[in-house]
Amino acid sequence: MKNKVLRKIEKIILILIFCLLIGGRGVAPVLAIEIKIDNEEIKKIQEAIQVKEENIKNLDNQRGIYQEKIQIKREEASNLKEELSLLNNRISKREIEIASQEEKIQKTDLSIKKIQLETLKKKKEIAKVKDNLKELLVTINEYDQKNYLEIIFLNASLSDVFNQLRYLNVVQSKVSRNLQRIATVKDGLEFQENDLRQERQNVINLKTELNGQKIQLTSEKEINQSLLSETRGAEWKFQSLLAEIITEQQNIENEISQLEKQAREKIAAEKEKQIENMEKEGIIVFSWPVPFEKITCAFHDPDYPFRNWIGEHSGTDIRATQGTLVRAAASGYIARAKKGGVGQYSYIMIIHNNSFSTVYGHMSKILVKENQYVKRGEVMGWSGGMPGTPGAGRFCTGPHLHFEVRLNGIPVNAEDYLL
């Protein structure tokens, strides 16, 4: 009987050593090989992440070089050669941005794999600690069922009794510590799972941005190809084309200004009838006409490809896939609903009050009519902008909505008024 109790004490000591290993500097020996493999793989992934970070840094440096070239060429571009050089630099910069985006996606994928391995490692650790606790609890239960007088009489000396009881107290203490460790590791798991969800969302966002960059690259290549096709490398043809585009843009601007003036005169004549439907005088807060994804070309953007041809960019280009529903940014009357064919510019113009109007350009389909009253958020048509499609106009920079806010007939920065 005495030998049996001593064997149990030896078992407690072994369990205690096992427990100390878990509660102290490492994990249980039975998991050592498994965890070592996990650690090595995590280390390799971390090294791969560092390589990706270096690649991204190098690509960003290259992007900066092309941005400087674009800045120089932008000031010089007044002939065909310089314009083609500017467009080629933009294409090279876009290709680098795409390569950088792909590196970021791969880096994020590696981060996800690393988090998954670390999560698996912690789950294994928790499982083993639970098994250990189960053994410890069984041991404690066995002692609880014993009579302490029996323990005393079965031991050879008082010292053995004290040692056995001390071991029992230590085991009970270790149970408490390991329960706390499980709680701590579980908390760490929750943080890692949150990080994992965030990294997965980052991948989705990066891929969305990558698709947008690829669309922009395709459009920029088409602009370049179209310019080469129309001029055939002849400077006089380029200058002729340039004059044609400038005239076309001026005609559109004159048309919008004249229509706005006429619409306001008509509204004033029918004021009693229509005043109830108009927006109140003063500053208007406009809703986004399409779901906000990204602004691809800002108001007066220095990187606007046709800045040297037709002047400052008068609107805000909001990325939108071909055929996205376009909604009225505020209530008002349709002053113009121009439907253009292939190679022609389509747009809608709304008068909101005596001060503000809005323009929606590159429409692929228009569903409203002139003089029609529309409420804020009402669908007016579909977005376009894909080069060569109806309503996109000449040299469009890819699928998007060109959105203008005008104050007293003059274009202003739409971002200052968008909610």
Neighbours of 257 (CB within 10 A): 13
Give the pLDDT confidence of 336-355 residue by residue, as tens digits: 999 987 778 899 999 998 88
Lowest mean pLDDT among 33-42, 115-124, 397-406: 33-42
Beta carbons of 91 and 221 less than 8 angstroms apart: yes
- Domain spans of the chain, in order of start: 2-230, 235-416
Q: Kindly list the distances between the CA atom of residue 266 and the CA atoms of 54, 57, 79, 272, 337, in Å, as whole numbers in the listed order.
A: 62, 58, 45, 12, 16
Please give the torsion angle defined by the CA atoms of residues 311, 312, 314 and 320, in that order, rounded to the nearest 10 degrees. Answer: 100
Please name which of 308, 168, 183 lies closest in space to residue 246, comparing C-alpha atoms.
Answer: 308
Please name which of 371, 355, 369 lies closest in space to residue 412, comparing C-alpha atoms.
Answer: 355
Q: Which residue has the higher pLDDT, 400 or 145?
A: 400
Query: Ranked by mean pLDDT, which of 6-20, 169-183, 396-410 comes out on top?
Result: 396-410
One-letter amino acid at 62 equals Q
Asked if the model's pLDDT at residue 164 lies above 60, the reply is: no
Average pLDDT over residues 234-255: 75
Q: Kindly list the distances between the CA atom of residue 319 and the CA atoms of 298, 383, 385, 401, in Å, as whole numbers in the listed order.
A: 11, 10, 10, 7
pLDDT attached to residue 191: 76
Neighbours of 43 (CB within 10 A): 11
Segments in 234-355 forming alpha helices (H): 235-269, 271-274, 307-310
pLDDT attached to residue 277: 61
CA dist 195 and 202 (Å) reads 10
Q: Which residue has the higher pLDDT, 21 or 42?
A: 42
Question: Which two structure tokens, joined as six digits, stand for 37?
Answer: 């493999």
Average pLDDT over residues 316-343: 91
Q: Which residue has the higher pLDDT, 27 or 235?
A: 235
Q: Which residue has the higher pLDDT, 234 or 389?
A: 389
Q: Which band of pLDDT confidence, cut at 50, 70 and 90, is reported for residue 269?
A: low
Q: Kindly list the distances between the CA atom of residue 125 and the CA atoms of 43, 83, 119, 137, 402, in Å, as whole numbers in the listed order.
A: 19, 63, 10, 18, 56
Asked if the model's pLDDT at residue 410 lies above 80, the reply is: yes
CATH number belonging to the domain at 235-416, selected among 1.10.540.10, 3.40.470.10, 2.70.70.10, 3.20.20.80? 2.70.70.10
Q: Which residue has the higher pLDDT, 252 or 137?
A: 252
pLDDT attached to residue 167: 58
CA dist 26 and 76 (Å) reads 65
pLDDT cut 90: percent of the chain above it = 20
Check residue 280 and report its DSSP letter. P
Question: Which two structure tokens, joined as six digits, stand for 267?
Answer: 């509204």
